[in-house]
Structure 1
């Protein structure tokens, strides 16, 4: 089940058509996921005498700019609208982090009766969450730090075709272990690093980034530190992928613990 937070931006514009002034509003997402389909809501306002507005052609164009500031058209869609309409828009893959949505409304048979609105959409990376789980949060110098890393896409499925960057830093910020091209083809990766006998005491940090998302976990290192909780055996490390029916979606609130079968 995809859990997507949709932020919407409202754009207003005016179409001048002969003796009438016709306004229109555009509700578009502020964020979008490449490869997914989003929607643009266009509402026409105003009347001609006592009659409803004639259908108008509405065109949406999604554009971006490359490093040379050259405009590139990502996708476009058109629809005849009377009153209001929802235009589906498939978001293609793009290396850009932002794109511009252009919405044009024109009266039929009159090229001068047009109006446009513009809004910026931020493109998300392919990874929704990076999860780092250490076996313990307390270590002594000379021990081996063990942890697991996985990445989830926007459908909460394991990411398997991305490269992750992982670093282990000491309290001074020095990276003592580095995994720069870590393949996640196996889904969950187990990593480990041996602490030197003279390792600095204090808070160490595990940082991981993948597909536009990142995570970090702090662990404590010290000769006098003792963990009150034992290390979790690998056999007890669980990842559960939950799939819900339509009836279940109304009773499940993201962010709260899920209890059920």
Structure 2
């Protein structure tokens, strides 16, 4: 199974993504093969991404440019990859690789959805077991999942799912910059992380987003990925 997904800046869907299995690499630069970045300020062969089981490494093939890998959810957290650095490990689940190109900054996203988390109840009592559905409750994707599940967890098992606009209104007090795009992005990411595939009839009927929402909520409630006693995260925000 793939462990790293590279999302080009102009990507409009899964067909435009690069999905890497552990051990596979992807070159990027002004020329192919790999991810082509059509800008005269980018080296012909600028770098290489290599997937491992739960993270990825970056090789900076530039002789002069330092690259920056940002954590979009890390309040400015980033790492620098010096020119010529080989296989620098990147620990972020979400990353944005930023490349200086003349007077511009170009970039693309890299996802590592197989970030695993141990069961807290087993961590100190012997050999730990990795969770089947590894979710980080400090991430915004968990806020979105909790907001989607909230009506049914509040005692309305057949309640319609919240619309994207309703999710935005519910989360805006703790996430002021929330937008329709960010909610849709997190729904798409949750579908990848939880290994969901919408049935063919959903994709063909144009109900792609609604189908994902229903599948996510069904899975989350069936396996207690979000519990009623966790819904206060929607009001208080993730705790450090």
Q: Tell me, yes or no, whether TM beats 0.5.
A: no
TM-score w.r.t. the length of structure 1 is 0.29
Q: Which structure has the larger Rg? A: 1
Higher helix share: 2
Higher strand share: 1
Structure number with the bigger relative contact order (C-alpha 8 A, sep ≥ 6) is: 1
TM-score w.r.t. the length of structure 2 is 0.31
